[in-house]
């Protein structure tokens, strides 16, 4: 009779599945981390506003679309500063949108899948902070935004901290267990140029040491 010995050391390989960004932001909203996001990105958004005022005709901007608006803090800031007539913030996180609606009621907030959303009007200013790299197919999404939510003179300003040149950010997908689309500066610019954006400019706004800073890209339709 042959006796089979049980191996002493059994290595079990566990597959770690990424959470969706929406799931992550729902959790953040529940624990109040949205306020920390606002504080952490405040300087970068202030620089985005500086670029807006320097490059474009501010007085003609009366409507704004905020993509990935979170609790709506950036939209509220610009709506107050420029007395906007219309403001819409969109986010996939219902918890973030619920918070946005509690903070202010004279702006519109929508919980929607941005990959399927169709705009019912165009906006003078389309902005986003720390959102676009969560998209699996940003080109398709921004083709939709460009063709359905923008008019001939619409202004685009986007800010992101996660991109190839910013080495400090490259561990974020594994750290958080969330998918992120890691593109280079040139790849982002090529994407915007491909959908038809014009007069594209970019800068890296450094807010802390050991970081390449926030990549801010601006342009017009």
Q: Is pLDDT above 60 for 14?
A: no
The pLDDT value given to residue 38: 76
The pLDDT value given to residue 36: 67
Q: Is residue 19 part of a domain?
A: no
Question: Quick count: other Cβ atoms within 10 Å of Cβ 108?
Answer: 14
The pLDDT mean for the chain works out to 88
Stronger pLDDT, 22 or 110, i.e. the higher one: 110
Spatial strand order in the sheet of 108-111: 108-111, 86-91, 63-67, 123-129, 150-160, 214-220, 198-205
The predicted model gives 26-55 an average pLDDT of 85
Q: Is pLDDT above 50 for 13?
A: no
Q: Count structural domains, the chain.
A: 1
Residue 77 near residue 45 (C-beta atoms within 8 A): yes
Q: Is residue 6 part of a domain?
A: no
- 86-106 b/e (C-beta count within 10 Å ≥ 16 → b): ebbbbbbbebbbebbbeebee
Stronger pLDDT, 32 or 118, i.e. the higher one: 118
pLDDT tens digits along 88-111: 999 999 999 999 999 867 899 999
Question: Quick count: other Cβ atoms within 10 Å of Cβ 191?
Answer: 17
Q: Is residue 3 part of a domain?
A: no
Q: Is pLDDT above 80 for 118?
A: yes
Q: Is residue 121 part of a domain?
A: yes
Q: Is pLDDT above 90 for 76?
A: yes
pLDDT > 70: percent of the chain: 89
Q: Is residue 61 part of a domain?
A: yes
The pLDDT value given to residue 15: 41
The pLDDT value given to residue 44: 95
Distance CA 37, CA 40 (A): 5
Residue 168 near residue 197 (C-beta atoms within 8 A): no
Beta bridge partners of 157: 127, 218
Which CATH number covers residue 212?
A: 3.40.50.150
pLDDT > 90: percent of the chain: 74
The pLDDT value given to residue 124: 98
Query: What residue numbers bound the domain in which 171 lies?
Result: 35-220
Reported as a pLDDT band with limits 50, 70 and 90, residue 17 is: low
The predicted model gives 191-217 an average pLDDT of 91
**Which of 4-13, 105-114, 153-162 bottoms out in mean pLDDT, i.e. has the lowest?**
4-13
Q: Is pLDDT above 90 for 40?
A: no
Residue 77 near residue 66 (C-beta atoms within 8 A): no
């Amino acid at each position: 009779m042959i006796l089979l010995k049980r191996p002493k050391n059994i290595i079990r390989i566990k597959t770690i599945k990424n959470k969706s960004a929406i799931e992550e932001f729902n959790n953040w909203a529940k624990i109040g981390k949205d306020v920390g996001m606002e504080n952490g990105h405040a300087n970068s958004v202030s620089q985005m506003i500086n670029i807006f005022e320097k490059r474009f005709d501010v007085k003609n901007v009366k409507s704004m679309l905020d993509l990935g608006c979170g609790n709506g803090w950036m939209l509220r800031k610009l709506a107050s500063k420029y007395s906007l007539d219309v403001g819409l913030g969109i986010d996939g996180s219902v918890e973030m949108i619920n918070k946005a609606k509690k903070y202010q009621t004279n702006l519109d907030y929508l919980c929607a899948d941005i990959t399927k959303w169709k705009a019912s009007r165009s906006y003078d200013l389309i902005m986003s902070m720390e959102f676009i790299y969560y998209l699996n197919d940003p080109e398709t999404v921004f083709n939709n935004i460009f063709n359905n939510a923008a008019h001939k003179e619409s202004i685009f300003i986007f800010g992101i901290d996660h991109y190839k040149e910013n080495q400090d950010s490259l561990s974020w997908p594994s750290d958080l267990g969330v998918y992120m689309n890691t593109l280079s500066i040139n790849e982002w610019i090529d994407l915007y140029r491909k959908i038809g954006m014009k007069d594209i400019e970019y800068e890296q706004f450094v807010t802390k040491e050991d970081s390449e800073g926030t990549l801010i890209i601006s342009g017009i339709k």
